[in-house]
Amino acid sequence: MKNFVVIVFCLMFAAVSYAMDVRTSVKYVSANAVYLDAGRTAGIAVGDSVEISSGDRIIAQLTVTFVADNSASCELPEGTSGLSVGDNVLVRGTGEITKTASEEPEESIETVEEQPTARTRRTAERNTNRLTGRIGVDYLVQDDREAFNYDYSQPSLSVRARMLDIQSSHISAALKMRLRKTIRDRATSSASSQTSHRVYEAALRYENPASPFELGVGRMIARDLRGIGYIDGGYAKYKLGSRVSAGAFAGTEPDLENTDFQTDVTKGGVFTSYESPRGAGDRIAATLSFAGTYEQGDIDREFIYQQISYSHDSRFRIFESTEINLYRDWLKEKENKTLDLASVLLNSRYAPNRALAFSISYDNRRSFYTYTSRSIPDSLFDDALRQGWRGSMEVRATRAISTEIGAGLRTVSGDTKDTQTGWLNVRLADILNSGVHARAQVRTYSSAYSDGIQPSLSLSRNIVPELNASIQVGANSYTLSSSNEDINQNWLRLLVSLNLGRHIYSSVDAEAARGSNRNTNIFSFGFGYRL
């Protein structure tokens, strides 16, 4: 163990954050969120940018709001529609800048002259006081036909806006929020109505290409510190050169459920990062950071985080990250050690050509004591080592036909049965020149709790350039290990999206779910305006 720790520290200090692009697919779509078939083990983190496409058409640009080991989810802004299981997903790390068709490509640090060129001046002028984003309203209704009769309606408003280079000051403002009210038709143990005001971002940032300093204040994602999440506070970053930077951040843990400001949990840390020039064939990037969270003045967690990534053109990429917990005060007494390996993530993808690609990932993690779990007796605390392996192969027979097959294995030390998963995805684009796109998927799973299969099929087509319609059908059949009971559920979903010019969009989404303990209809309508 001692030698291993030495090796890890050598790796950390040799590395000095760039998040590698991750390609995956849509695993499931709900009324309010889309779930991705990749997660923390692939290098995805909260705050990463997500681009979802079908064929050559970009359907949505979202942000990761939750990450598990092998899955991630994004909140769907009101009015977002046309997403289907199996759609292509490109995840860009928070260090990357996601470009839209209307944005000018940014110049590489290596190519920017000390005196701005005519092109960079024109780009800067265009971005001054430029407002981007969207405002959307949505109304969702659930009709539960089971005996419980859990009917509810849910109006909501979402705002995602950014003002660039305010008055040529190099200061930008960002706001991301969602207001939602849930109205239940029958009284339950919960209130008959519940209001949720979530403010995900409300921040000011100073970013001047001619200055080595970068500053930010407000509610935000700590972009250079993956895993630290949202903060109410600020950060400062200093460029030590064209490739290396260092900085620090401090703040409190925000209450995302509403607009309240809380001070019970504080966060702080320092970091250094390295990134090779954009446009280079081989790209290397890395981060080394120390961060801590503290609850009511006591240590909650202190840890060292390291990540490094390498890519060669679009053929090969590898991402690795390590977390090492540091123990002192009550944590040292509880764990009886000064440091311990908390997690290791490794993900790699190799595409020898356009028709073939291989992906493999590994992760391990172990639960550790925090402030909220400190009272749990050692005999009851679950500190079992969890390990996971996933592998897949993608084959693109033609531009219109692609297939992915994969398998996964997750083990927990002490458990009698491992969790096994498998999947097969088939994508057909523009079938027989009809404009119809098809996605077929079959997933199997087997664990200590259940064994089952989840097939699904989706078809989509542009009726006219402005109007897209898709239909999805799927099933979930499994057997409970505890009772040997068979559960069979199926669902049918229809989505229609309309885009009127560049600014106005709307959508209609209807879903019917039937089967064991499930008899529910869901309908939603959305309308929005792009700024």
User: Based on the structure, what is the number of domains in the chain?
Assistant: 1
Question: Taking residues 296-314, what's their average pLDDT?
Answer: 90
pLDDT of amino acid 257? 72
- Of 163, 173, 99, nearest to 131 by C-alpha is 163
In a domain, 191, yes or no: yes
Contacts of 420 (CB under 8 A, 6+ apart): 407, 408, 409, 410, 444, 445, 446, 447
pLDDT of amino acid 147? 79
Tell me which DSSP letter residue 373 carries: G
* Tokens (6 digits) for 118: 């005519």
Distance CA 35, CA 85 (A): 9
- Of 182, 254, 245, 191, nearest to 213 by C-alpha is 245
Sign of the alpha-carbon dihedral angle for 483, 484, 485, 489: positive
In a domain, 141, yes or no: yes
Distance CA 379, CA 51 (A): 45
283 near 314, Cβ under 8 Å?
A: no
Task: Give the strand pairing for 88-92 and 33-36.
Answer: unpaired
pLDDT of amino acid 6? 41
pLDDT of amino acid 21? 63
How many of the other CB atoms lie within 10 Å of CB of 215?
A: 17
In angstroms, how far is CA 449 from the centroid of its own chain? 27
Contacts of 264 (CB under 8 A, 6+ apart): 252, 253, 295, 296
Higher-confidence residue of 122 and 320: namely 320
Distance CA 530, CA 123 (A): 21
Task: Give the strand pairing for 22-29 and 419-428.
Answer: unpaired
pLDDT of amino acid 240? 92
Q: Whole-number mean pLDDT of the chain?
A: 82
pLDDT of amino acid 114? 38
pLDDT of amino acid 226? 62
Q: What is the pLDDT of residues 429-479, one digit of tens each?
A: 999 889 999 999 999 999 988 999 999 999 999 999 899 999 999 999 999
In a domain, 314, yes or no: no
Residue 135, strand partner residues: 159, 529
Question: Taking residues 146-161, what's their average pLDDT?
Answer: 89
Distance CA 415, CA 432 (A): 50
HSE (side-chain half, CA atoms, 13 Å) at 152:
17
Distance CA 531, CA 522 (A): 29
Question: Under DSSP, is residue 126 helix (H, G, I), strand (E, B) or coil?
Answer: helix
Distance CA 211, CA 196 (A): 40
pLDDT of amino acid 17? 36
| Host H or E run for residue 163 | strand 152-164
Q: What is the pLDDT of residues 359-413, one digit of tens each?
A: 999 999 888 888 888 778 776 777 778 899 999 999 998 889 999 999 999 998 8
Phi, psi for residue 8 in degrees, rounded to 5: -60, -45
Task: For tokens 């981007």, name the residue.
Answer: 132
Question: Under DSSP, is residue 196 helix (H, G, I), strand (E, B) or coil?
Answer: strand
* Tokens (6 digits) for 31: 């009324």
pLDDT at 25 over 70: yes
In a domain, 152, yes or no: yes
Share of the chain above pLDDT 90, in %: 50
Higher-confidence residue of 75 and 323: namely 323
Phi, psi for residue 229 in degrees, rounded to 5: 75, -150
Structural domain including 142 reads 132-199
Residue 73's pLDDT band (boundaries 50, 70, 90)? confident
* Tokens (6 digits) for 329: 């005060």
Per the confidence metrics, is the pTM higher than 0.95? no
Question: Taking residues 55-68, what's their average pLDDT?
Answer: 75
Question: Taking residues 94-120, what's their average pLDDT?
Answer: 36
Share of the chain above pLDDT 70, in %: 82
495 near 83, Cβ under 8 Å?
A: yes
Distance CA 127, CA 207 (A): 13
Distance CA 21, CA 95 (A): 11
Task: Give the strand pairing for 22-29 and 504-515.
Answer: unpaired
Distance CA 233, CA 256 (A): 14
96 near 49, Cβ under 8 Å?
A: yes
- Of 45, 44, 76, nearest to 60 by C-alpha is 76
Question: Under DSSP, is residue 122 helix (H, G, I), strand (E, B) or coil?
Answer: helix
Question: Taking residues 138-152, what's their average pLDDT?
Answer: 88
pLDDT of amino acid 271? 93
Question: Taking residues 148-165, what's their average pLDDT?
Answer: 91
Residue 513's pLDDT band (boundaries 50, 70, 90)? very high
Question: Taking residues 251-278, what's their average pLDDT?
Answer: 85
* Tokens (6 digits) for 438: 């098809």
pLDDT at 4 over 60: no
512 near 490, Cβ under 8 Å?
A: no
In a domain, 23, yes or no: no
pLDDT of amino acid 497? 93
Sign of the alpha-carbon dihedral angle for 30, 137, 202, 105: positive
Q: What is the pLDDT of residues 182-217, one digit of tens each?
A: 998 765 545 577 788 888 899 999 999 899 999 999
Question: Taking residues 346-350, what's their average pLDDT?
Answer: 94
Q: List the single range of 267-271, 277-281, 307-311, 486-490 with lowest mean pLDDT.
A: 277-281
The number of residues making up the chain comes to 531
pLDDT of amino acid 104? 31
193 near 183, Cβ under 8 Å?
A: yes
Q: List the single range of 21-35, 270-284, 392-406 with lowest mean pLDDT.
A: 21-35
pLDDT of amino acid 95? 38
pLDDT at 325 over 50: yes
How many of the other CB atoms lie within 10 Å of CB of 507?
A: 24
Contacts of 77 (CB under 8 A, 6+ apart): 62, 134, 136, 158, 160, 528
Residue 88's pLDDT band (boundaries 50, 70, 90)? confident
Strands annotated E in 79-129 = 88-92
pLDDT of amino acid 109? 28
Task: For tokens 């109304």, name the residue.
Answer: 139
In a domain, 159, yes or no: yes
Most confident by average pLDDT, 8-12, 335-339, 488-492: 488-492
